[in-house]
Amino acid sequence: MKNLQKFLFLSLFFISGCTVYTEKQSEAVSQNVYATNQSLGKARVDLACFYSNETTKFIKPPKHPIKIDSVYEQSKSKQRIVVVPDQYKNDKVVIVGSVEYTQLLKDSQIKKQLERDAQLTAKQIESDNKELIKQKAMSDKMVIDLNKYKELVAKKDLKILWLSIVIVGLLALDALYFYLKANGLFFL
């Protein structure tokens, strides 16, 4: 019965602690994953790279990662080739920091959009960093609580052991008393 109570107590502790932890993690990850998906859908590979990198802050590397290799030209220069899906075939590709990109910045509407995107990414970095700090604190709290409850369980187990020893000792004294009384060796 005592073991069942301990098991239920620890189970409830872990379930409640893990639920809070995973809910916090999934919100930040969801924001970044969906932002990556939307960025790719709107041909914003620059933002997709940013948001996918932010997502990796929250996810542990897999034990068996999928291997992705770059594609290179077969010429002597072995220049890397950027491969994009068919959905981008009619789009113009502009490299961030290039002359063409600088020309884009001269258009005030595009410049405002890119500045807004930069503000959003800065806000997302701040939000993600706060979330990572919260997760670390939650993880630390779970470990501290677990150690505290382990100590409590150990103390209770020690108390039960001590009480069991006392009871066995008293039973042994009782048995010795009755044995001595039955054999006439004890006169009280």
- DSSP for 105-122 reads HTSHHHHHHHHHHHHHHH
pLDDT of 39 reads 85
Q: Which residue has the tokens 């113009």?
A: 92
Instruction: Give the phi and the psi of residue 71 in degrees, each rounded to 5.
Output: -105, 130
For residue 42, give the nearest of 101, 94, 87 by alpha carbon: 87
Rounded CA gap, 36 and 40, in Å?
6
pLDDT of 145 reads 86
Instruction: Give the phi and the psi of residue 67 in degrees, each rounded to 5.
Output: -85, 125
Half-sphere exposure of residue 23, counting CA atoms within 13 Å on the CB side? Answer: 6
Considering the entire predicted model, what is its pTM? 0.56
On whether the CB atoms of residues 24 and 58 are closer than 8 A, the answer is no
Instruction: Give the phi and the psi of residue 93 in degrees, each rounded to 5.
Output: -100, 125
pLDDT of 21 reads 47
What are residue 71's DSSP bridge partners?
A: 81
* 45 CA to centre of own chain: 26
Q: Cβ–Cβ contacts within 10 Å for residue 51, how many?
A: 23
pLDDT of 25 reads 55
Residue-wise pLDDT for 17-65, tens only, equals 555 445 555 677 888 888 888 888 888 888 888 888 888 888 888 888 8
How many Å is the Cα radius of gyration of the chain?
Answer: 33
Residue-wise pLDDT for 128-170, tens only, equals 888 888 877 887 888 888 888 899 999 999 999 999 999 999 9
Instruction: Give the phi and the psi of residue 37 in degrees, each rounded to 5.
Output: -60, -45
By the 10 Å C-beta count (0-12 exposed, 13-18 middle, 19+ buried), 83 is classed as exposed
